[in-house]
Structure 1
Amino acid sequence: MTKGVARRKIAAAAVAAAIAGLAGSPAHGAESPARGAEDDGSWAKDFSFNLSGYARAWVSMNLEDQPELDAIDKKSKGKLSMVRGSLLLDADARTGPVKWKAIGRLDREAKTDYLRDLERLRETNGTAGGNSILDNYNQRELRELWAEVPLGDRVTVKAGKQQLVWGESDFFHAMDLVHGYDLSWRLFFEGENEEWRKPLTLISTKIRVPEADGMLAAYVRPGWDSCESIGNTYDIRGGRWFFQPYRGFDLSTVTNKDCKHPDGDYRDVTGGVRWSGEAYGLSYSFAWLSTFSADPVANSTFRPFEKAPTGSVFDLIHPKIDVYGMTVSGYSGPLDAVLSAEIAYTQDQPYNVGTGAFLDPKVPGNVGIGLGGVKKKDTLTTMLRIDKNLGLEGLLGTSRPSFSSIQLFDTQVLNFKESDDLVRLFAYGTPLTEHNTILTAFTTLNYRNDTINPGFAIGFDLTHGGGFAIPSVSMTLSEQWLAKIEADLFWTGDRSSKVPFSNQKSQLFGYFDNASQIVFRLTRQF
């Protein structure tokens, strides 16, 4: 069976499951009228409408100088990297048995002196003339628009632009791959995934099976979304969250995003099926989905992958992948904690080829920094987590026990061979390793009946060194006003070199070198 046929069968299975949701409700439910249908004018009687939302402001400031700005004799430490405002409107309605949802958001930023400096850098590195740097960050979008209808007592079907969350991990995602994330204006500081996730137009269904203590969920993505809706979006135009040392380098001048690549056409139908349930005191799930690779790879003009790129150097593409995963969680009495595990097998995860410098004279024919082609590898992603409430009331004077969590996250490249010459990330010449392991932990303290909540998160790259720390304080000022302040601090360690193009170990936290910042957020809810 070819991979194309297998993918079509995956999509067909998801379609069949969704159709089962439409047509497979129990016989007694099919014979009974919809809720409230026995009363004349029930749709009018059951009508309800609610509008809520927030106005939000962000301000962030650099805590370190960035070497890129030396080219124009500027410093970044102490400068405002973001002044941003957002307005979100969330409308809920019900007409009889049908539930409706619409969410819209408007985002606008001011061009700070720091952003002007980054635009000036484009002139020094030959990438001037592109769009304003604010095009990275100013957005307006209808984020969600869907209707959900129950069919009998067991089945609900939702159609429209929506979000689906399949997975257990927080900082890094093993199975939460239905959607990509918009990381262009914010790459690291904490927030709600619902704000960063890119919604998709889906038909989804949930079928409750109480006899088996479980539920079958399925979705179909018909391929009606825009090109920008698939995969993760990064700040490649040289903005504040482009990886060092590329701040101020507008990569969009030498590349295009190809959403019609033969191996990653955004118009293709994708979908998935997930079973979740409870047994023997454990919660578990199994999932199977066909989607697009979250992180893009470079289709290079030097080593084209299935199709010649249109960009002058390369195109960004999101090849399709198949993911099979499972989760399990349960309470441990001896530890007084909830233990969770998640594992995902990804078939045909794409990677770029070509370590070392761009053109290495010592290796004839070598094309480095990830522009030597694309190779696919199966991967195994594993997450282990322990969640526990710590009784710190006597020690720290908190109002109640403090929620804490530790996660160990590992991605393994199966059938790994150094001769494959895979790179961790294009635009760097550093090799991919067989294992990439991250350890994270966080805790939240609660004071004054949860109106003041200090928090602390920390993470370590156990494979390459480096890590992050995020101290924060969230405050409820009133029923309408919320505030949060946090610091995002990074270090690289001895095993994560910060030199690109060099075949050295410039790994995950090397990308974040000199990116430490402090962020303030103020929200007015209504």
Structure 2
Amino acid sequence: MMGTDMKIDKKKATAPLRWQRRLLALGVLAGTLGAQTAAAADDWLTKDWEVSGYLREYLSWNLENPTLIGPDGQQRDDYRYSLSMARTVGKLDLYRDFGNWRMKITGRVSRESPTSYGKDLQEVMDEWAATGGASGSSVNLRDDVYDDEELREFWIQGDVTDTTNLKIGRQQVVWGETDFFQLLDVVHGYDFRWRSFLEPENEELRKPLNMVNITQRFDQLDASLQAIYIPGQLNDHEDRGNSYDVEGGRWANNPNKGITFASAPFGANVRYNYDHPGADMDDDSYGLRWNGLLGDWGYSLGWFHGPNPNPVVNPNPATNPGQPQLQTGPYEGVYQGGATEAGEFIYPYIDVFGVTANNYFAGPDLVFSTELAYIPNAPYNVGIESIAEGPGCGFFPGFCGIREKNLFRSMFRIDKQLDLQSYLGTSRPSFFTVQLFNNWITNFDKEEQLVNLAGFGGATKEFSSIATAVLATNYANDQINPSLAVGSDLTYGGGFVIPAVELAYGDHVRVRFEADVFFHRTDQEKPLQGFNDTNLFGYFSGNDQLLARLTYQF
């Protein structure tokens, strides 16, 4: 318990430091703003701020009974058709144009109302923690996960020269050609804990960062070069990398609802470590992106150095006896978590090299896009079996260590306007897009037993692919807008179907209804046992739901 207590104290001790870093970042930004606007005091007094934003209410209901099993091994209730989310969000945007310089400030506040299903999740979580979980590591879902106040944007942007643009402050930078899965869009992490990957506007899930963003135009080449610099010490650790529901909430991977990884019982708990030498969130990140035109083709070349988008588990060799034989790279022999913990979540720093291209072809009347990314030394957890299930080496599958593999990722997409007025009675042509995502581990070795996600026994294959398609239609002059999104895991099985309709009332009111339905080949039925070859869509088993979203935008 000594190692655990030391880790908790360290986390508490760093909280004031994070606020100091935020204040320092805001001080730097304010100083820059003051220097630039001192000479434009008249503009400040005579030009108005543009105010916009929204008020939004989310309601979701379970369409099937999610697995919620307590320490007694019994399913708690039948939660089919139970209200799973009642979330209220307010967002305010302030924008001002000073002529050569512009400024934007965005804040967002989110609050969740209690539901009976949410109360049962919390109750089961407390029961699991009481059966041997680490002391002081319990989570209150509403206070610690769902409710938040965020400064989403706070930047100033302007032209330093006729061809050089500077944007400094808290912002979002979007790279790549796709909205579904991250290939080159790795500058920011995403918060998938309250809504998973389903939110149609992914900027609502993306985590903003304090950074310096410079773009140099080369007009004679029809190109530009963008350079970004992200100071690690001026950003909160939690703002880096993707955040998944490891707190046991409504989007925890099946069957882990009600179980917090940080307070799992029997010494099997796993916590985040943001200070690991190979994954230190205080380290800086940076990247370059060349964007241009070559004939009819738009293209870009990019490189980014920063945290791996997804966390991996660095196992504790004291509780995972096979770990030292399989660990490779900068993680070998470096474990900093509690002595009795099963491991620690870390975000190793990686390099991502990528190319994008797009073109419009008049003959078939379509737009073709592609995105290619190469990631040398991408981290994977290893170990198909756990000690409990066979001759494994750890508490759970994947807890045998980390292997670094060379990963090549690709995306190919076709966008096309379909004239369906005579078939569906739409008011204008419909938008259709289809995408194919591929992963290729170029130095694959089956004997290494790579897993797709630590804690699940689904073995990673050398080649894997996912196909997605979206059809968006419009009726009544865009007042009624149905859509259908589908996806299929061509390698591991399963997929999703998401029918939706968005209704527009005037300039201010938007109502969206959506059903999220998942299919899977294999899923895991009981927490902390019965490990099998569950993969991506098996994680979403029991999460079929109906969503209603009401927005008043101003």
Pair in the same fold by TM > 0.5: yes
1:167 is aligned to 2:176: yes
Question: Does 1:105 find its partner at 2:105?
Answer: no
Task: State the partner residue of 1:492.
Answer: 520
> Is the contact made by 2:524 and 2:530 (CA closer than 8 Å) also made in structure 1?
no
Aligned to 1:65: 65
SS at match of 2:354: strand
Report the counterpart of residue 308 of structure 1 in structure 2: 335
Whether the 8 Å contact between 1:400 and 1:446 is mirrored in structure 2 is yes
Query: Does structure 1 residue 445 correspond to structure 2 residue 455?
Result: no
Alpha-carbon spacing, 1:239–1:140, altered in 2? closer, same or farther (3 Å): same
Task: Report Cα offsets for 1:109-149 as digits up to 9, x if no partner.
Answer: 01210011112222553457712121221111111111112
Aligned partner of 1:326 in structure 2 is: 355
Q: Distance in 1 between matches of 2:276 and 2:200?
A: 33
| Among candidates 141, 144, 151, match of residue 133 of structure 1 | 141
Query: C-alpha offsets along residues 306-363 of structure 1, whole Å, 9 cap, x if unaligned?
Result: 4223242211100001000000110122321001111000122111111113345446
Runs of 5+ unmatched residues, structure 2:
1-35, 264-268, 325-330
Question: C-alpha offsets along residues 222-270 of structure 1, whole Å, 9 cap, x if unaligned?
Answer: 1110110111111111100000010111112122211111011111111
1:337-416 paired onto structure 2 within 5 Å: 337-362=366-391, 368-416=396-444
Distance 1:339 1:96, change over 3 A: closer
Distance 1:362-1:228 versus aligned 2 partners, 3 A rule: closer
8 A Cα contact 1:379 1:411, kept in partner: yes
Shift of 1:427: 1.0
* Secondary structure of residue in 2 paired with 1:68: coil
Change (3 A) 1:356 1:185: same
| Alignment partner of 2:365 out of 336, 340, 343 | 336
Residue pair 2:469, 2:485 contacting (<8 A) in 1 also: yes
Find the residue that maps to 1:122 and give its secondary structure: helix
Letter matched to residue 244 of structure 2: Y
Shift of 1:96: 4.1
1:240 to 250, 267, 285: 250
**Residue pair 1:214, 1:277 contacting (<8 A) in 2 also:** yes
* More divergent stretch after superposition (108-117 vs 252-261): 252-261
1:59 touches 1:519 (CA, 8 Å); kept in 2? yes
Q: Does 1:116 align with 2:145?
A: no
> Aligned pair in 2 of structure 1 residues 65, 175: CA closer, same or farther (>3 Å)?
same
- Cα distance in 2 for partners of 1:189, 1:126 equals 30
CA contact (8 A) 1:48 1:95 kept: no
Q: CA-to-partner distance for each residue in 1:15-34, whole Å, 9 max, x for gaps? A: xxxxxxxxxxxxxxxxxxx9
What does residue range 40-59 of structure 1 map to in structure 2 within 5 Å?
43-44=43-44, 47-59=47-59
- SS of structure 1 residue aligned to 2:220: helix
Secondary structure in 2 matching 1:48: coil
Q: Report the Cα distance in structure 1 between the residues aligned to 2:509 and 2:126, rounded to whole angstroms.
A: 42
CA distance in 1 between partners of 2:295 and 2:350 (Å): 33
SS of the aligned residue for 1:395 comes to: helix
Equivalent residue, structure 2, for 1:294: 309
Provide the secondary structure at the position in 1 that maps to 2:485. Answer: strand
Q: 2:231 aligns with which of 194, 209, 222?
A: 222
Q: Which moved more, 1:410-419 or 1:70-79?
A: 70-79
Equivalence map 1:161-310=2 (5 Å): 161-223=170-232, 224-253=234-263, 254-301=269-316, 302=320, 303=323, 305-306=331-332, 307-310=334-337
SS in 2 for 1:118: helix
Gaps of 5+ in 1: 1-33
CA 214–180 in structure 1, closer or farther in 2 if over 3 Å, else same: same
The structure 1 residue matched to 2:492, chosen from 464, 470, 479, is 464
2:139·2:260 contact (CA, 8 Å) conserved in 1?
A: no
Q: Distance in 1 between matches of 2:103 and 2:539?
A: 42
Q: Residues 126 and 42 (structure 1 numbering): CA distance in 2 closer, same or farther, change over 3 Å?
A: closer
Amino acid at match of 2:335: A
Deviation of 1:60 after TM superposition, in Å, equals 0.2
Name which of structure 1's ranges 41-50 and 110-119 shifts more when overlaid on structure 2: 41-50
Measured in 2, the distance between the counterparts of 1:167 and 1:205 equals 18
Match of 2:160 in 1: 151
Contact 2:382 2:398 in 1 (8 A): yes
Paired-residue identity, %: 37
Q: What TM-score does the superposition give when structure 1 sets the normalisation length?
A: 0.89
**Bigger CA drift: 370-379 or 64-73?**
64-73
Q: How many residues align?
A: 487
Indicate if the aligned counterparts of 1:46 and 1:94 stay in contact, CA closer than 8 A: no
**Structure 1 Cα separation of the partners of residues 258 and 390 of structure 2:** 28
1:364-389 deviations in Å (ceiling 9; x for gaps):
x5665111111111101100000000
SS in 2 for 1:65: coil
Instruction: State the distance in 2 between where 1:141 and 1:52 align.
Output: 16
Residues 105 and 502 of structure 1: CA distance in aligned 2, closer, same or farther (over 3 Å): same
Deviation digits for residues 51-73 of structure 1, max 9, x if unmatched? 11111000000000123358254
Q: Judging changes above 3 Å, is the alpha-carbon distance between structure 1 residues 99 and 366 closer, same or farther for their aligned structure 2 residues? A: closer
Matched, 1:431 2:459: yes
Q: Could you tell me whether the CA contact under 8 Å between 2:342 and 2:395 is conserved in 1? A: no
2:110–2:149 CA contact under 8 A, matched in 1: yes
Equivalent residues of 1:475, 1:484 under 8 A apart: yes
- The alpha carbon displacement at 1:171 in A equals 1.2
Partner of residue 74, structure 1: 77
Separation in structure 1 between the aligned mates of residue 206 and residue 126 of structure 2, nearest angstrom: 33
Change (3 A) 1:46 1:159: farther
**3-state SS of 1:239 partner:** coil
Task: Write out per-residue CA displacement over residues 149-203 of structure 1, whole angstroms, 9 at most, x where no aligned residue.
Answer: 2122211101111100001112112100000001111103232111100001110
Distance in 2 of aligned mates of 1:117 and 1:194:
31
Distance 1:245 1:446 in 2: 39
Question: Which residue pairs with 2:327 in the alignment?
Answer: none
Distance in 1 (CA, whole Å) between partners of 2:408 and 2:431 is 29
